[in-house]
């Protein structure tokens, strides 16, 4: 699943038309997405324990939540909005109920010089700490250079989430690259699905 602004999609369409006309210039083989891209175990930084005011990777802050709301900055006059809305996590935390439709990873990043794509794959933790062999789901968000806020959506795969512990791998890649590659993985976040979700953290 990939989400982006409409002009990005239009730009991609134009690029596809140009590539179709150049013949020899286009790649004959499209890059394949790799489910497993590392040999042996690799350790990625955890984004679960964050200290206020200390950025992690490109993230100024990153939180899991039950949802998000949009807050607009204004120029001092009602209706005069900035181009970049702020996203505010709703009921942030790391424990959710099995009926939760989706878990959201809401974040703010440092200003980007170039557009980038942010991705997530999530896995169910098996006994002994092993992860499920294939991801339960994935999501990709394309963020343009002037934007600083975004979210990734982790949807339940059936009627309910399976009770247990989950690991979400976070990726950041330039536009045009395969997002789910080991070299683009920047960190992890953990969350739990329980019958009785714990009280959420204060906003």
Q: Considering the chain, what percentage of its residues have pLDDT values greater than 90?
A: 44
pLDDT of residue 86: 85
Q: Is the pLDDT of residue 141 over 90?
A: yes
Q: Which residues contact 180 (CB under 8 A, 6 or more apart)?
A: 33, 34, 35, 37, 119, 121, 138, 171
Q: Is the pLDDT of residue 22 over 60?
A: no
Confidence label for 57 from pLDDT (cuts 50, 70 and 90): low
- Kindly state the average pLDDT of the residues 135-164: 92
pLDDT in tens, 153-196: 999 988 999 999 999 999 999 988 889 999 999 999 999 999 97
| Residues 156, 92, 6, 184, Cα dihedral to 10° | -80
Q: Which residues contact 28 (CB under 8 A, 6 or more apart)?
A: none
User: Which of 82-86, 126-130, 180-184, 187-191 has the least mean pLDDT?
Assistant: 82-86
User: Which of 22-26, 60-64, 115-119 has the least mean pLDDT?
Assistant: 22-26
Q: Are 182 and 37 in contact (CB under 8 A)?
A: yes
Q: Are 77 and 106 in contact (CB under 8 A)?
A: no
What single DSSP character describes residue 155? E
Report the distance separating Cα 189 and Cα 32, nearest Å. 25
Confidence label for 112 from pLDDT (cuts 50, 70 and 90): confident
- Kindly state the average pLDDT of the residues 74-84: 53
pLDDT of residue 145: 76
pTM over 0.85, yes/no: no
Beta bridge mates, 11:
none
For 42-193, which CATH class? mainly beta
Confidence label for 148 from pLDDT (cuts 50, 70 and 90): confident
What mean pLDDT is reported for the chain?
A: 75
- The full set of domain ranges for the chain reads 42-193
CB atoms within 10 A of CB 13: 10
CB atoms within 10 A of CB 11: 14
- Kindly state the average pLDDT of the residues 2-24: 41
């Amino acid at each position: 699943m990939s989400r982006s602004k409409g002009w990005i999609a239009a730009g991609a369409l134009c690029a596809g038309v140009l590539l179709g006309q150049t013949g020899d210039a286009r790649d004959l083989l499209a890059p394949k997405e790799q489910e497993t891209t590392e040999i042996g175990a690799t350790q990625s930084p955890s984004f679960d324990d964050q200290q206020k005011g200390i950025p992690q990777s490109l993230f100024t802050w990153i939180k899991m939540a039950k949802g998000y709301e949009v807050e607009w900055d204004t120029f001092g006059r009602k209706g005069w909005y900035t181009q970049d809305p702020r996203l505010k996590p709703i009921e942030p935390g790391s424990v959710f109920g099995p009926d939760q439709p989706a878990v959201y990873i809401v974040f703010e990043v440092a200003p980007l010089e170039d557009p980038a794509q942010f991705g997530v794959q999530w896995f169910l933790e098996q006994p002994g700490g092993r992860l499920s062999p294939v991801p339960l789901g994935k999501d990709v968000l394309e963020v343009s250079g002037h934007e600083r806020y975004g979210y990734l959506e982790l949807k339940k795969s059936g009627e309910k989430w399976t009770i247990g512990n989950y690991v979400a791998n976070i990726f950041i890649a330039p536009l045009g690259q395969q997002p789910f590659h080991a070299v683009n993985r920047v960190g992890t976040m953990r969350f739990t699905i329980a019958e009785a979700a714990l009280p959420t953290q204060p906003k």
